[in-house]
Amino acid sequence: MIKFYLLIFTTFILNSCNSQTSNNLKEVQNGIVYFLYNHGANWVNSSNGLPDNIRIGLGGIATSKQEIGVATKDNGVYLYNFKNKVWDSIPTDKHIIEGNIGALAIYESAIFVGTQFKGVFYTTDKGKNWTNLNNGLKDLTIRRFCEFNNIQYVCTNDGFYSFNKISKNWELEFGQTSLQTNGATFYKGNFYLATNKGIFSQQTDKSWINSSPQFSMHNISSDKNQLYAMTYNELLFSTDGKTWKSQQSGLPKELYTFNVLNHNNLILAGQWDGIYKKDNNETKWELLSQGLPTKFAVTNLKMYNDILIISTSERKLKEGLTTEK
């Protein structure tokens, strides 16, 4: 009789373990947002509170000194609750969601949302009231928000705008008809814009020139040492903004990089099959994807204090793409 109960007890424990393992595997596979704490080696699934069916666009993660936010296309905005380790939903008006939410920014305690069809909306009371903010914009397709020197900027399908806090107007910094501006960075005192017509750089006299008309750019970023330019099939870098060299070694062949970020001399690149790392002295990228699902497309990459944050909007590689090195 004792052996019989021991057998039942052992079977119960094994089934519980198997169930827990299954649940853990399911959790890993279903994660869409992951955190990496204090330069650790393992990514932590931090998707608790987000719906099962969810899409996050490019530029859909934002951070401030106090908060981390995520903009989802179907369910609106969420803010991370550090105490409960869960995402809290922020009421988002239906007509904003209908505009196809993409980019997100948290600027001076206000939440800014960029849409594909309806421009910019913002709230100062965490979703209780939303206000349309399109004054000055000539194009309402919002690609990305950027903040430099405590000024909010926005990239649109016709150029690059700055936000005037006093007049609450967007002021055109540089633009052209059909100039799809996908990203911006501030490097050694000048702005650099990633566009469908190349990289436009601002000169000391505030004029703009096309410093690389041969490239169509997906995004751009920088650190104190160099610029990182993301074409649609190669990652480039430059120290002077004029001469560009490939930095694709170790990355998937002919797949574009979504984001590049330098934190404490660790350079990170979000790619279609995970996230890669290298330091300033290395020439080849290495995967830093322990804990992530396989072929996790890192479409967004942000920093919050010592927490690295990544998200995906794709669960696998699109048909026909390859991760060949």
Q: Is 144's pLDDT higher than 70?
A: yes
What's residue 320's pLDDT?
53
Q: Are 260 and 221 a contacting pair, CB within 8 Å?
A: yes
The structure tokens listed for 187 are 């490097």
What's residue 101's pLDDT?
97
Q: Is 322's pLDDT higher than 90?
A: no
| Residue (of 289, 290, 284, 283) closest to 271 by Cα position | 289
Q: For 26-41, what is each residue's pLDDT tens digit? A: 444 579 999 999 877 8
Q: pTM for the whole thing?
A: 0.86
Q: For 237-250, what is each residue's pLDDT tens digit? A: 999 998 999 999 99
CA distance 192 to 101: 25
CA distance 107 to 63: 9
Grade residue 263 by pLDDT with cuts at 50, 70 and 90: confident
CA distance 198 to 241: 12
| Residue (of 292, 244, 302) closest to 272 by Cα position | 292
Residues linked to residue 23 through DSSP beta bridges, in sequence order:
none
Q: Which of the 8 DSSP states describes residue 41?
A: S
Grade residue 294 by pLDDT with cuts at 50, 70 and 90: confident
Q: Is 148's pLDDT higher than 80?
A: yes
Give the mean pLDDT of 40-59.
92
